[in-house]
Amino acid sequence: MNLFPSKKRLAHIIYESDDRASKNFDLVLLILIFMSVTVVILDSVEEIHRDYGRFLYGLEWFFTLVFTVEYFLRIWLSNDKPGYIFGFYGLVDFLAILPSYLSLFLFQTQYLTVIRALRFLRILRILKLPHYIREASALKSALKNSQTKIQIFVGSVLTIVLIMGSVMYIIEGPESGFTSIPRSMYWAIVTLTTVGYGDIAPSTSLGQFVAALIMLLGYAIIAIPTGIVSSEMTAARFDKKNARQKDLYFCPNCGLHVHNSDAEYCRKCGTKLEPLNP
Amino acid sequence: MNLFPSKKRLAHIIYESDDRASKNFDLVLLILIFMSVTVVILDSVEEIHRDYGRFLYGLEWFFTLVFTVEYFLRIWLSNDKPGYIFGFYGLVDFLAILPSYLSLFLFQTQYLTVIRALRFLRILRILKLPHYIREASALKSALKNSQTKIQIFVGSVLTIVLIMGSVMYIIEGPESGFTSIPRSMYWAIVTLTTVGYGDIAPSTSLGQFVAALIMLLGYAIIAIPTGIVSSEMTAARFDKKNARQKDLYFCPNCGLHVHNSDAEYCRKCGTKLEPLNP
Amino acid sequence: MNLFPSKKRLAHIIYESDDRASKNFDLVLLILIFMSVTVVILDSVEEIHRDYGRFLYGLEWFFTLVFTVEYFLRIWLSNDKPGYIFGFYGLVDFLAILPSYLSLFLFQTQYLTVIRALRFLRILRILKLPHYIREASALKSALKNSQTKIQIFVGSVLTIVLIMGSVMYIIEGPESGFTSIPRSMYWAIVTLTTVGYGDIAPSTSLGQFVAALIMLLGYAIIAIPTGIVSSEMTAARFDKKNARQKDLYFCPNCGLHVHNSDAEYCRKCGTKLEPLNP
Amino acid sequence: MNLFPSKKRLAHIIYESDDRASKNFDLVLLILIFMSVTVVILDSVEEIHRDYGRFLYGLEWFFTLVFTVEYFLRIWLSNDKPGYIFGFYGLVDFLAILPSYLSLFLFQTQYLTVIRALRFLRILRILKLPHYIREASALKSALKNSQTKIQIFVGSVLTIVLIMGSVMYIIEGPESGFTSIPRSMYWAIVTLTTVGYGDIAPSTSLGQFVAALIMLLGYAIIAIPTGIVSSEMTAARFDKKNARQKDLYFCPNCGLHVHNSDAEYCRKCGTKLEPLNP
């Protein structure tokens, strides 16, 4: 309980989360992140900015300085400095302080500090919930399985958007808001995704006919990503179910291999197998 | 058939639904609830309020007094008074009369009496339909199974809304309606959920480009809750199917355990097993 | 080939579709239905009505008279007169001629003659496609299986619409278009279904916050009907698949019973089993 | 490495993609297609057209001439001339140059040259990715399997759109934008697909009530294409899974036949079976 802990002890407090000091550090950090994001949001509301702008500006710089100190502490204490700096968490930590300094030179960039919200992901590491990690792995493997389908889907959507946008630009023209092909493509995306702002809408009969065709097409197309996700999730759900019924384990990492009931590590990728809740 | 029934008989009439008197009581109650909600809705229409306002005001207080008497009767007749008062049905009964009394002090709260519609849930208890209870249990267990997925989903949506809202606030600014980050976040939710009112819409080229990205993202994201529900329902559907084909029973409460064909109670949670319709 | 066929021959021509005369009759009928619907649609366009109104009015009455003669012929020729008149096809045939006669007394009802489009359903009877009948039976049995889920779903949606509509009426008031609870409920449906016209939209901060909650709720709720349909269709798909793999037949009527490979009629409901395409 | 390759060598360069010269040719072609589409898009933006219009016009004709030369080269070098000209790729190649020449006579058709984007499909042939071909075959077979369901679905949607459009035309009339039945049908499609521009919206109480019914119907109907795609994809997913688990092969062409583990060609349609990635 000395006031200046050793470097090793400090590294433990900052990087781990298994005793009182390190848990408190993580808790304080999460509260600071939450308050910092709240300050940025509040400051953007004109009425609040008018009355409390100076106070919030001060608070924001206080949080930025605290996070800056923490960032350099993490670099200093890390055993694998480049691994931290260029890793996911290191980049998020860096991006969380960058906008404040940029705002000294560039207008309004201080609002980008909301990217600090990404630091909440640290909760996952702190809580170390196997549930979340398993689900995330399942999602990752589902995405990997349906990669080709997704590529075909995105390619088709972009082609439809390009061609339909051009056709509507020719049919409707600038009078209805279709002032250029890029803007018509924006309209096509607004329509295909069924968002439908109505800021740009066809006004000629032919334009409305073509727009109706695009909508019915969008109706069919929206079924495709849903179908991909549903089928992958159903498949994953049955894997889990089968594994449970047969007392077998399902590897959260490589996903497709069935393990013997006494297996503790995946025989393919070596991932520790979590026992499924009974 | 005496005019003043005993306390025990009165409790039976109010709490049960298995003979003529108690069934009639429930029926009258449902009709009163329906009429009471209708009165509130009609009273909000200006033309009707102008012509029949006084009459509807009187009716509303009549229903409130009847429900108040019923509420205190239920407390008086209940064997487990705190259990009723703080239970689900007791709270709904209390909330159903509260707004009328509040409206004496607070403006317009009388419209909150539409919460009386929740009292219709009593129908489930009156009809005691095993179908509904089984489906509701299945839905509850499906939600429990996909709890982690839903948490990850809600967290991701809120993070996207926060960051995208801030980005659009910087890009578009107050001219297009993006007057603050909270309002930009409202816009981001309107866009991600494909509602798309168009009250706030991007007008710059860069803003429309970013908005198009958000829409395509929303397209992908909307597939996730659908996929979760579809996979859980498909799994539940197959459980039911398998149980039927193999003459086995499926527990509506804990869901995942297969029972022997002669089982009458779940061997795990003791729930009475409903025989499946053949 | 005599000009005045016998009553029996005429009944065959009108009710059957298995030789040249009866096939031609059906074909002519379908063309008349299509032309009749087209005439009504064209007549509603002001420019066309101005120039060709009289001509189209004449055509419409010509079609109406032809369909009226056909209707009374069908009654006269039918063996089971009440069965035809109050059956599905008889009612559609009656509704197809009613609006024209009503239009003599009521303004604009002639446009309701588009209900003639329902007569196209006759195509199904003419073509007698076993595919369509099987799919329609599958859809019917899927709907029956998920009846309880659909009832719970519709009940929940209406309750949410009622309560949220009232809440928004109190929060927003007439300034933003929420002029009454029914109109607020209309807004709630527009929002929950993600249609989002924007004719009524919240303008206060609190209203936008509550609206955002409703949207996220609608996001989750839209997953439910999709999940119901997906799971039923997946189950039906696997039934068909299993039946095919095991050389067993699947009854298109009662759906859930597996038949022996040599079965020609469903052992439960007696429906003729269509051999599945190999 | 002579400057004028033989006709056979030229055909190889243009039609194949297996050595350096032919790969370079394909790469250059893809870059030209991409640049050509970009030029058309940029030229439609008024600010860019004002400043660089002449330059972009020149570029566009340069690309058109290159593609024209390529088109005639392909015809000259093809062994099966009519097969190329009337085949899919030949038609796309022809449509890719047609709009430029048409624009000499017809206004604005030059923007239709964005159809050149379809030439990107050539990438599939160049890369010859078995993944894509397998997924595309799976999609094709899924569409074929659900053909009847899709026909019933499209028929129902069009009937609902026709009848609801007419009903709303009678209820609302020209004041709210329902100026004709075709325009009301456009509104019905905008509403059913949940796009909801708001350019046409009901303003009477009865109209809003009917519109709310259409929206709730659309809510249910949107579930159907999603359900069709989900069930087909789930079925395909399980086929693949089963094939993998049992060391059996699944034919990417006819889809439904299970093959022995030593099969190299589909015993039904003769398609070469790709070994599944382990």
CA C247/CA C16 separation, integer angstroms: 34
Whole-complex ipTM: 0.78
- Quote the pLDDT of residue C264: 52
Q: What angle do CA C116, C119, C125 make, to 5 degrees?
A: 175
Amino acid at A197: Y
> Is pLDDT larger for residue A260 or for residue C123?
C123
Across D118-264, where does the E strand assignment appear? 249-250, 258-259
Helix (H, G, I), strand (E, B) or coil at D144: helix
pTM of the model: 0.81
Helix (H, G, I), strand (E, B) or coil at A249: strand
- Structural contact between residues A239 and A232, judged by C-beta atoms closer than 8 angstroms: no
Which of A196, A230, A234 comes nearest C196 by C-beta? A196
Nearest-Cα distance to chain C for A219, in Å, is: 13
Chain A: residue whose CA lies nearest to C191: A195
Phi/psi of residue C107, nearest 5 degrees = -70, 130
- Quote the pLDDT of residue D246: 42
**Average pLDDT rounded to a whole number, residues C182-201:** 92
CA C142/CA D87 separation, integer angstroms: 42
- Of the pLDDT bands very low, low, confident and very high (cuts 50, 70, 90), residue D244 is very low
Beta bridge partners of C272: C265
Q: Indicate the CATH number for domain A145-246.
A: 1.10.287.70
Quick check: A209 contacting C, CB < 8 Å?
no
- Quote the pLDDT of residue B259: 43
Asked if residue C154 has pLDDT above 90, the reply is: no
Amino acid at D169: Y
A chain contacts of residue C195, beta-carbon cutoff 8 Å: 196
Residue with tokens 């630091």: A119
CA C9/CA B99 separation, integer angstroms: 72
With CB atoms and an 8 Å threshold, state whether C198 touches A198: yes
Q: What share of chain C is helix, strand, coil (3-state, %, to 5)?
A: 75, 0, 25
D258-259/B258-259 β-pairing:
unpaired
- Structural contact between residues A235 and A226, judged by C-beta atoms closer than 8 angstroms: no
For residue C104, give Cα distances in angstroms to A175, C41, C251: 42, 19, 49
For chain D, positions 215-234, list CB contacts with chain B under 8 A: 226, 230, 234
Residues C60-99: tens digit of each pLDDT: 899 999 999 999 999 998 888 898 899 888 888 888 888 8
Quick check: B148 contacting A, CB < 8 Å?
yes
Beta bridge partners of B272: B265
Q: For chain C, which residues make up each domain, given as ranges?
A: 7-128, 145-246
Which of C118, C186, C226 comes nearest D208 by C-beta? C186
With CB atoms and an 8 Å threshold, state whether C198 touches A194: no
- B neighbour chains, 3+ CB pairs within 8 Å: A, C, D
Question: Rg of chain A's alpha carbons, rounded to an integer?
Answer: 26
Nearest-Cα distance to chain B for C220, in Å, is: 6
**Average pLDDT rounded to a whole number, residues D142-147:** 75
For residue A249, give Cα distances in angstroms to A144, B231, C153: 21, 20, 36
CA D109/CA D64 separation, integer angstroms: 14
Asked if residue D3 has pLDDT above 80, the reply is: no
Chain B: residue whose CA lies nearest to A132: B148
Which of A166, A196, A224 comes nearest D195 by C-beta? A196
- Quote the pLDDT of residue A260: 44
The mean pLDDT of chain C is 79
> Is pLDDT larger for residue B42 or for residue C227?
B42
> Is pLDDT larger for residue C150 or for residue A60?
A60
How many C-beta atoms lie closer than 10 Å to residue C277's C-beta? Answer: 6
Which of B198, B226, B234 comes nearest D226 by C-beta? B226
Tokens of A94: 């860096």
DSSP code for B86: T
Quick check: B122 contacting C, CB < 8 Å?
no
* B251 phi-psi bin (left φ>0, alpha ψ -120 to 50, beta other): beta
Tokens of B47: 């033309």
Q: What angle do CA C95, C98, C102 make, to 5 degrees?
A: 145
Nearest-Cα distance to chain D for B224, in Å, is: 13
Nearest-Cα distance to chain A for D7, in Å, is: 34
D chain contacts of residue B226, beta-carbon cutoff 8 Å: 226
CA D28/CA D126 separation, integer angstroms: 13
User: Which residues contact residue C254 at a Cβ distance below 8 angstroms, ignoring those fewer than 6 apart?
Assistant: C141, C266, C268, C269, C271
- Which has the closest alpha carbon to A222: D152, C215, D155, B220? B220
Tokens of A208: 């409305």
Per-residue pLDDT of chain B (278 residues; tens, 9 = 90+): 556 778 888 888 888 777 888 888 888 988 998 898 899 889 888 889 899 989 998 998 999 999 999 999 999 988 888 988 998 888 888 888 888 888 888 776 777 777 777 777 666 666 656 666 677 777 777 777 777 777 778 888 888 899 899 889 988 888 888 999 999 999 999 999 889 998 899 999 999 999 999 998 887 777 778 888 888 888 777 766 555 444 344 455 555 344 444 445 555 555 555 554 33
Tokens of A89: 């968490």
With CB atoms and an 8 Å threshold, state whether D231 touches C234: yes
Length of chain B: 278
CA A216/CA B250 separation, integer angstroms: 41
Asked if residue C252 has pLDDT above 60, the reply is: no
Tokens of D240: 């693949």
Nearest-Cα distance to chain B for C277, in Å, is: 25
CA B263/CA A227 separation, integer angstroms: 38
With CB atoms and an 8 Å threshold, state whether D215 touches C193: yes
Quick check: D31 contacting A, CB < 8 Å?
no
With CB atoms and an 8 Å threshold, state whether B182 touches C194: no
CA B63/CA B71 separation, integer angstroms: 12
Chosen from C230, C231, C232, C237 to mutate, greatest number of chain A CBs within 10 A: C230
Q: Where are the alpha helices (DSSP H) in C222-257?
A: 223-245
CA D166/CA B242 separation, integer angstroms: 47
DSSP code for A117: G
How many C-beta atoms lie closer than 10 Å to residue B57's C-beta? Answer: 14
Phi/psi of residue D140, nearest 5 degrees = -60, -45
A chain contacts of residue B155, beta-carbon cutoff 8 Å: 120
Cα atoms in the 13 Å half-sphere on the side-chain side of D266: 16
Which of C170, C220, C226 comes nearest B111 by C-beta? C170
Helix (H, G, I), strand (E, B) or coil at A5: coil
With CB atoms and an 8 Å threshold, state whether D198 touches B194: no
- Of the pLDDT bands very low, low, confident and very high (cuts 50, 70, 90), residue C21 is confident
DSSP code for D174: G
Q: What angle do CA B231, B234, B238 make, to 5 degrees?
A: 140
A chain contacts of residue B232, beta-carbon cutoff 8 Å: 237
CA B114/CA B96 separation, integer angstroms: 8
- Structural contact between residues A163 and A186, judged by C-beta atoms closer than 8 angstroms: no
- Structural contact between residues C232 and C220, judged by C-beta atoms closer than 8 angstroms: no
B chain contacts of residue C151, beta-carbon cutoff 8 Å: 132
- Structural contact between residues B78 and B50, judged by C-beta atoms closer than 8 angstroms: no
Helix (H, G, I), strand (E, B) or coil at C229: helix
Across B63-139, where does the E strand assignment appear? none
CB-count exposure of residue B153 (10 Å: 0-12, 13-18, 19+): buried
Which of C45, C112, C196 comes nearest D196 by C-beta? C196
**Average pLDDT rounded to a whole number, residues D196-210:** 91
Looking at the domain A7-128, which fold is it? Four Helix Bundle (Hemerythrin (Met), subunit A) (1.20.120)
CA D249/CA B45 separation, integer angstroms: 67
What DSSP line would sit under C15-71, residue for residue?
H--SSHHHHHHHHHHHHHHHHHHHHHHHHHSHHHHHHHHHHHHHHHHHHHHHHHHHH
Phi/psi of residue D79, nearest 5 degrees = -75, -30
- Which has the closest alpha carbon to D36: D123, D115, D124, D125? D115
- Of the pLDDT bands very low, low, confident and very high (cuts 50, 70, 90), residue C125 is low
- Quote the pLDDT of residue D269: 58
Q: What angle do CA A79, A84, A86 make, to 5 degrees?
A: 140
Tokens of A57: 């500006």
Q: CA torsion sign, D190 to D192 to D193 to D197?
A: positive
**Average pLDDT rounded to a whole number, residues D71-99:** 88
- Quote the pLDDT of residue B210: 93
